[in-house]
Structure 1
Amino acid sequence: MGEALARLRSAGDPYTPSSGNRGYRVVRYELELDYDVDRNALSGTARLTAVATEELTRFSLDLAALRVTRVQVDGVEAKRTHGSGKLTLTPRNTIADGAEFSVLVRYSGAPRPVRSPWGEIGWEELEDGVIVASQPCGASSWFPCNDHPSDKSSYRISVTASSAYTVVAPGELVSRVARASRTTWVYEQPEPMAAYLATVQIGRYQRLAVSARVATSTVPVVAHLPRDLTARFRHDFADQVDMLACFERAFGPYPFGSYGVVVTDDVLEIPLEAQGMSVFGRNHVDGVSGSERLIAHELAHQWFGNSLTIAAWRDIWLHEGFACYAEWLWSEESGAESADACARAHYAALRRAPQDLVVGDPGPADMFDDRVYKRGAIALHAVRRLLGDEAFFDLLRDWVASFRHSSVSTDDFIRTADRHAPAPVEPLLDAWLFQETLPPFPVG
């Protein structure tokens, strides 16, 4: 492989060095999928619209072990090689820097998760259906893509499956057409979305509108879940809309057209976020609100992770620290423990844990370490103590509004925080994010 091509076959992120691609950015995906649940057989046509960021004689897409049957670039057949998770294309004509171009890929096979340092991720069969959970680099398990969070695009996802199943995907359901025993579901996601947040959920689900207990949020909230969980779900998720309204006050308007919850019929180790939705296992619906903290966490990711998406995985605290702090804000709002009490409890636990992690650049092996979540959240609490409540929540709303549907970094957050702080916040955040030693607990 030539040095130039090797450079193009990576986004250059040391956390996921074999994922993502340079040389272009995708602005639109249109996926047409046909899936047989019984046979785990997928056939797909992917149409990508992209813009070159340099002159391209060759470029690559991420695509795992699925069989490619046809490739076109700008409507013309292109040469291709496919292996080691990369589909490399050589178009007939060189693509000029800045030019928009289209790619068509037809493919088929039995999709399965891709192996990664974080376990198997991507398209996975359930007992009776499908779950897709791709963080951080499993999107290539089911469609050709530029699988890095810095490349965000709009999507149209069409899935045809047996009419016995419900199909849920990001965005708004724009059509559902039944023909004989099969139904085609079409979803449109206009807001830019990173490939790892794209998902397809297939199951024998009922649809349930979630109403508010108290709050006035106008965002539609819809759940899809097994029918036998209805009563427990209504109890456990009774505060979902009120929670959404709380976060809108704290962070600004909800960034998407609606919010969805999917509860699989299988047990899941942890809930999962996707754009505009969260996915829980039946074990998270216990009838005694045992997962309320997780419900808040996944909802908060719609602002922090899905609308504001990190440009590099080293900054994952900007997703997880913020979502963790949102848990504490909801605890405070709902009359349980205050955010300060939550922070103090987790600070005590952090003091007992090894202090050998740099939260602002934890390394790929530790990017999902709980210390990234909790210490990142306490870093935000330290900023709150420094600024005071009014300026702190002004900062959060400014942060969300300024970078809505964009890519973000820790430096971006520091610059935004400085606009609201009486003194530079970098020394404070440096201690919490970039030093191993735990700083003293923040006091006002």
Structure 2
Amino acid sequence: MARAQGTPPTPGAETSGDSCLPAHGNGGYRVRHYDLDLDYRVGPNRLSGRATVTAVATQALSRFSLDLTGFRVNRVLVDGRPARFTRHGHKLRVRPARPLPDGAEFVAEVRYVGNPRPVAGPWGDIGWDELTDGALVASQPVGAPSWFPCNDHPADKAAYRIALTTASPYTVAVTGRLTERTRGAGTTRWVFERPEPTATYLMSVQIGQYVDVTLPGGPVPQRAAVPARLRESFRHDFGRQRAMIDLLGRLFGPYPFGEYQVVVTDDDLDDPVEAQGMSVFGANHVDGRRTHERLVVHELAHQWFGNCLTVADWRHIWLNEGFATYAEWLWSEESGGPAARVLAREWHGVLAGKPADLRIADPGAAHLFDERVYKRGALTLHALRERIGDAAFFALLRNWVAGHRHGTVTTERFTTLAAEHAGADLGEFFTEWLDDPRLPELPDQEAPVAR
């Protein structure tokens, strides 16, 4: 709502209002576009950057804040004029030379330099991290400020242009379409465009000595950057990715981006990581035997659930992880493995032996990535499928994706749409599965295999 004319400007809130992670993200404006010009030296782990942030004030502002950890900030401009700035924790507080009216578009330019480090949290170290020979970015949920100043909340999705210069022996992979690659005296400048609205945590940079691998075609180009020693094993382990895209496209709707890239680091990683139009795996996830194929489809499914459809608040994370986990079970059905109903029964038995002390609809910050969020989220979807039948269930998923394409979503929106497709009140069903910590019984009937 616009402020009354003459109302004095106020500082923008240094909180997003997120129920799980309120300290990350900021109020008072919305970002439209990030333009990042970065220079990275691998050996000393030295990053210098110029970030140009185009935003719109949602109230009259005397000051606003950006999220940024570490780094020395050398200069801040707002609409081309020098601005005063201070640092407080991971907040960069900026006071423009002139207050910003409600509704005004403004451009903030931040010049910074330093040694990027991941952000420590209850889930481990998150963000820009050094590899044995290179670097990677894995930002979920709060690691984006480890490499650029931003409004670090998933609901504030923006477009991006990222230019990164580093030593020429290294391959650079950034979430987006490569538009330019210019080789200089020992360095190469890579430029990527990400036009779709994208959450900060889904922007990623990968730097390593990789070889390019082209995967079989499909609705969009598929490419990969992998260590040379893993090239043949990778071709086997990811050889059915085209079939996965075809299946998920049939069940959920068309693949939502213009490309899909896989990066395999030469180091081991605890878990794969999704980014916008990209998934990142460790060397330990490639063994030539498709041991980790479920993870391949899990990360791919995040392109629909998490990336295209992004949670409006972190408490809704089951909409990311439950859906991606259920995609694993659907792929198992398609590829000749156990049917989803079999996997559902198995995991129901596993979760029955775990503490019943977690609400899936709001697990809390410490439990965002708890296994129960993933598996019980998938069980909720399977129970819903059995409750309403395949025709209504998969129509629901396709409409869910189409109706919120490149937007933000909440549990309430999903449950409302589910009731519309069911033609029945599902309030008690969702209360039992999402709000009650006690694990409900699965429905007795068996859902048919999706074809």
* TM-score, length basis structure 2: 0.95
Match of 2:390 in 1: 389
Deviations 1:87-106 (A, max 9, x none): 00001111111111111000
SS of residue paired to 1:420 = helix
Supply the distance in 2 between the matched residues of 1:149 and 1:5 (Cα, whole angstroms).
24
Deviations 1:302-360 (A, max 9, x none): 00000000010100000000000000000001011111111111001011111111011
Which residue of the other structure, out of 92, 98, 114, is the alignment partner of 1:87? 92
* Matched residue count: 437
Runs ≥4 in structure 1, deviation > 6 angstroms?
4-7
2:293 is the alignment partner of 1:288: no
Match of 1:356 in 2: 357
Supply the distance in 1 between the matched residues of 2:46 and 2:67 (Cα, whole angstroms).
20
SS of residue paired to 1:356 = coil
Contact 1:432/1:439, CA 8 A, preserved across alignment: yes
SS of residue paired to 2:392 = helix
Deviation at 1:368, TM superposition (A): 0.6
Match of 1:305 in 2: 306
SS of residue paired to 1:419 = helix
Deviations 1:142-197 (A, max 9, x none): 00000011100000011000000000001100010001110000000000110011
Deviation at 1:287, TM superposition (A): 0.9
Deviations 1:275-307 (A, max 9, x none): 100000000001111110111100000000000
Supply the distance in 2 between the matched residues of 1:411 and 1:14 (Cα, whole angstroms).
15
Residue 346 of structure 1 aligns to which amino acid in structure 2?
W
Query: Which structure 2 residues correspond to residues 38-117 of structure 1 after superposition, within 5 A?
Result: 38-117=43-122
Match of 1:410 in 2: 411
SS of residue paired to 2:279 = strand
Contact 1:346/1:374, CA 8 A, preserved across alignment: yes
SS of residue paired to 2:62 = coil
Deviation at 1:7, TM superposition (A): 6.9
2:144 is the alignment partner of 1:144: no
Match of 2:137 in 1: 132
SS of residue paired to 2:50 = strand
2:199 is the alignment partner of 1:198: no
Query: Which structure 2 residues correspond to residues 228-377 of structure 1 after superposition, within 5 A?
Result: 228-377=229-378
Deviation at 1:387, TM superposition (A): 1.5
Supply the distance in 2 between the matched residues of 1:328 and 1:179 (Cα, whole angstroms).
48
Contact 2:10/2:61, CA 8 A, preserved across alignment: no
RMSD: 1.1
421-430 or 343-352: which moved more? 421-430
Supply the distance in 2 between the matched residues of 1:47 and 1:424 (Cα, whole angstroms).
48
Deviation at 1:436, TM superposition (A): 0.8
Supply the distance in 2 between the matched residues of 1:404 and 1:419 (Cα, whole angstroms).
19
Contact 2:11/2:64, CA 8 A, preserved across alignment: no
Supply the distance in 2 between the matched residues of 1:77 and 1:348 (Cα, whole angstroms).
61
Contact 2:126/2:140, CA 8 A, preserved across alignment: yes
Deviations 1:105-163 (A, max 9, x none): 00001111111122111000000000100110110000000001110000001100000
Residue 189 of structure 2 aligns to which amino acid in structure 1?
T
Contact 1:381/1:442, CA 8 A, preserved across alignment: no
Contact 2:50/2:111, CA 8 A, preserved across alignment: yes
Contact 2:71/2:116, CA 8 A, preserved across alignment: yes
Supply the distance in 2 between the matched residues of 1:391 and 1:15 (Cα, whole angstroms).
32
Contact 1:383/1:425, CA 8 A, preserved across alignment: no
Match of 2:435 in 1: 434
Supply the distance in 1 between the matched residues of 2:209 and 2:62 (Cα, whole angstroms).
46
SS of residue paired to 1:353 = coil
Supply the distance in 2 between the matched residues of 1:290 and 1:63 (Cα, whole angstroms).
38
Contact 2:12/2:63, CA 8 A, preserved across alignment: no
Residue 207 of structure 1 aligns to which amino acid in structure 2?
D
Residue 349 of structure 1 aligns to which amino acid in structure 2?
V
Match of 2:423 in 1: 422
SS of residue paired to 2:191 = strand
Match of 1:120 in 2: 125
Deviation at 1:17, TM superposition (A): 2.5
SS of residue paired to 2:378 = helix
SS of residue paired to 1:279 = strand
Residue 34 of structure 2 aligns to which amino acid in structure 1?
Y
Residue 295 of structure 1 aligns to which amino acid in structure 2?
V
Deviation at 1:404, TM superposition (A): 0.4
Which residue of the other structure, out of 139, 162, 165, is the alignment partner of 2:167? 162
SS of residue paired to 1:26 = strand
Q: Tell me: CA distance 1:146–1:23, structure 2 relative to 1, closer, same or farther (3 Å).
A: same
Deviation at 1:218, TM superposition (A): 2.0
Contact 1:382/1:443, CA 8 A, preserved across alignment: no
Deviation at 1:5, TM superposition (A): 7.5
Deviation at 1:220, TM superposition (A): 1.0
SS of residue paired to 1:58 = strand
Contact 1:5/1:59, CA 8 A, preserved across alignment: no
Supply the distance in 1 between the matched residues of 2:141 and 2:194 (Cα, whole angstroms).
20
Which residue of the other structure, out of 25, 37, 41, is the alignment partner of 2:42? 37
Unmatched 5+ stretches in structure 2: 1-8, 446-451
2:22 is the alignment partner of 1:22: no
Residue 395 of structure 1 aligns to which amino acid in structure 2?
L
